[in-house]
Amino acid sequence: MNPRNRKQRPVTVFDGHTHHVALCRGFRDGLPMFGWGEGPSTLLTESQLSSVGLRRNGQDPVALLVFRHHKPYRREETTELFSVERAAPKRGTLAQRRAKVQEALRVRRICVECRQDVGYYVPTSTRVCWQCESGTWEVAA
């Protein structure tokens, strides 16, 4: 069957706050399927959300994008579409996330008794360094 001759029917897509009417190619797993360039502009793939600085925010897909791949052996590609309105901004840049991880690792090296960075990760069960655990700290006179 020629894909241009498929009967397309209007479908209402609810993406969180608003309803959008678009031409749908059918349904798969209860989700409307759209062809390349046929879906509403408020629905984006996960990589498209990422490129505009958004993340999925835990939402389920609202629709599917179905298209033929440019490589003949791949045949049909299916991608999930997510609502832009329910998406959230990304949590931070890569440098900000690395800085937070470094700070969290530094905190794991601090003993709760002597409040010093002991140079190794203290046990998470006691959060006390080996010297405070055994009581072998030498008192300076």
Tell me the domain boundaries of the chain. Answer: 3-89, 94-134
pLDDT band per the 50, 70, 90 thresholds, residue 17: low
- Measure the CA–CA gap between 121 and 63, rounded to whole angstroms: 47
pLDDT digits (tens, 9 = 90+) for 18-64: 555 567 788 888 888 888 888 888 899 999 999 998 999 999 999 99
- Measure the CA–CA gap between 1 and 125, rounded to whole angstroms: 65
- Measure the CA–CA gap between 63 and 83, rounded to whole angstroms: 9
Radius of gyration of the chain (CA): 27
pLDDT digits (tens, 9 = 90+) for 82-101: 999 899 998 888 888 899 99
